[in-house]
């Protein structure tokens, strides 16, 4: 049995604009899991508060893949790529984090001591055992945590894009295919962060 479990999840597969992000999280044993849930079931205020605790206490990584890369490789592959980036970031932090937790580094390959759980039906190409499970973001605290940091990070980015392209309402709908988003794209054309392989 693996010593450490990391959760993986993405945010932003469905939008018509902006990046897809992914989180990767290993939680400490004393983490207050009662603050976690599927990110979609938490209010924005609770997500932001939970993200702060995750980033203070957990070992985490975030991956971001931009709209142009999504168009080049398709959204599924881009989502898996974002998870790979998130895992690599988490893995780079892991030795120092384990030391801060008073946990001795395993004598074997560290990746061999990690097992990953990802939400959905596809696993990214990462150097540890990985299994995918639909609705994992509502079952496993590590995946809940990953979904939260991915969602909060992407929302922050879309708020910044809203400042650059205020006509599109990105701060409100975060690039998802709302009626207002589709209408403005048809009226004034696509924004520079539009996913051009997505139809609407």
Residue 158 — φ and ψ, nearest 5°?
Answer: -70, -30
Longest dimension (CA), the chain: 61
Residue 31 — φ and ψ, nearest 5°?
Answer: -70, 140
The region, left, alpha or beta by phi > 0 then psi within -120 to 50, assigned to residue 105 is: beta
Spell out the per-residue pLDDT of the chain, length 200, in tens. Answer: 468 999 999 999 999 999 999 999 999 999 999 999 989 899 999 999 999 999 999 999 999 999 999 999 999 999 999 999 999 999 999 999 999 999 988 878 899 999 999 999 999 999 999 999 999 999 999 999 999 999 999 999 999 999 999 999 999 999 999 999 999 999 999 999 999 998 76
Q: Which pTM does this prediction carry? A: 0.95
Query: To which H or E segment does residue 90 belong?
Result: helix 75-100
- Residue carrying structure tokens 């849930």: 37
- Residue carrying structure tokens 């998870």: 83
Give me the pLDDT at residue 1, please: 44
**d(Cα 90, Cα 24) in Å, to the nearest integer?**
6
Contact 27, 33 (CB under 8 A): yes
């Amino acid at each position: 049995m693996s010593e450490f479990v990391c959760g993986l999840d993405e945010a932003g597969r469905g939008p018509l604009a902006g990046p897809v992000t992914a989180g990767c999280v290993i939680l400490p044993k004393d983490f207050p899991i009662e603050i976690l849930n599927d990110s979609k079931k938490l209010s924005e205020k609770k997500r932001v508060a939970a993200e702060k605790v995750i980033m203070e206490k957990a070992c985490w990584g975030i991956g971001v893949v931009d709209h142009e890369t999504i168009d080049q490789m398709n959204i599924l592959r881009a989502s898996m790529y974002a998870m790979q980036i998130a895992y690599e970031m988490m893995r780079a932090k892991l030795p120092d984090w384990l030391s801060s937790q008073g946990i001795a580094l395993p004598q074997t390959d560290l990746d061999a001591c990690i097992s990953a759980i990802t939400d959905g039906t596809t696993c990214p190409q990462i150097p540890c055992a990985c299994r995918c499970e639909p609705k994992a973001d509502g079952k496993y605290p590590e995946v809940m945590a990953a979904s939260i940091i991915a969602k909060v990070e992407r929302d922050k980015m879309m708020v910044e894009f809203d400042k650059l392209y205020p006509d599109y309402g990105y701060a409100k709908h975060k690039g998802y295919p709302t009626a207002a988003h589709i209408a403005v794209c048809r009226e004034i054309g696509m924004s520079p962060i539009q996913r051009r392989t997505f139809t609407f």
